[in-house]
Copies of this chain bind each other. A is one copy, B any other.
C-alpha cells in the first residue's frame, strides 16, 4: 500500500507536533509544511520542506491529506472550508459552541469538490467526545463529568499577559481531587464551576509593578477567573523559564450510571489523559485519523465527518484479522 502523503498547513506548536508524529508512522510521509509567512523564515523541527501557502493548490495531486494546524478563533473557520475545496483535510477546531456551523461550512465545501474532511479532532473535542458518547450510550441513566488538567490553558495564559504590569504569565487549570472523588463515589453530585477546577497562575511582573493590583485584576477578570478560586504566584523570570516552559495538559471524562433492578447498581466509567505535551498529543491523534481518512476516501466517502462517524478499525495500521487476533 502506498504511504499516506501528508501536508501541514500552518507551523506553530501543533504543526511541529504533526511533523514529528508523521515520523513515528511507517505508513505516512510528509510532503511539506505550508505557511503564510516567508517560507525561508520557518525552521522545521525535523527538516520538513517549507512552501508558501500560495503554492499549496498547485501541489494538490501530491497530497492525500492536508492537516490544518491553525487556531480555532479566526484561522480554522476560514481555512478549513477554503482548503477543503482543494484537499482532503483534517482540523482540530475546538470551539464547541460553533461546531455545527463549522461542520455545515466544511461539509458543503468538501461535498461540492468531492473531498473528505474530518473536523474537531484531538482530545477535547475528539477522544473525550468519543468517551462521552460511548459511556452515555452504554449507561443511559447516569451523569457525565468532564474535568480538565492539570494543564496549561492557552486562553487564560493569554488573558493574564494582557494585564498591566505582567511581563510573563502562565495559567494551569487544576481539577479538584475532592470533586472527582465525589463523582467516583456514585453520589452524582451537582458541581459548580468553582467546585470543579482551580486556576493557578504564575506571573513575572514588570519592574516596579503593583503586585497587589495585578493579583486583583487577574482574580476578578470576568469570564476567565471570577467564577473560580484562583491563586496568583509571582516568580522570577529565571524560574519562569526553567519551570514553566512546557505545555502539559490532560483531564478526565467520567460517567456514573445506574443499572439493574430498581436502577440501584452503580457502574463507573472513567477515561483520563496525562500529557506532557498537549500539542504533540493532539498531533498524534490527527495523524492516526489521517490514516482513517485515506482509507475512507479510497472507499468513496466525501463531505465532513467527526470522530463519531469513523469506525475504530480505520485508525490502526493493522489489518482486520490482526486486530481481532491481537487486540480484541
Contact = CB atoms under 8 A, between A and B. Distances in A.
A103 B140 contact: no
Contact of A136 (B263, B313, B316): B316
A268 B259 contact: no
B285 A324 contact: no
A310 B328 CA distance: 14
A60 B313 CA distance: 31
Nearest to A316: B137
Interface stretch (A62-70, A126-134, A171-179, A193-201): A126-134
A211 interface: no
A221 interface: no
A124 to B, nearest CB: 9
B288 A267 contact: no
Contacts of A133: 312-313, 315-316, 323, 327
Interface in A129-156: 129-134, 136-141
A216 interface: no
Contacts of A312: 130, 133-134, 137, 307-310, 312
Interface residues of A, number: 71
Interface stretch (A33-41, A109-117, A273-281): A273-281
A154 B313 CA distance: 30
B277 A259 contact: yes
Interface in A229-274: 250, 257, 259-261, 263, 265-274
Interface stretch (A16-24, A74-82, A202-210): A16-24
A212 interface: no
Interface string A293-328: 000000000000011111111011100110111011
Nearest to A26: B140
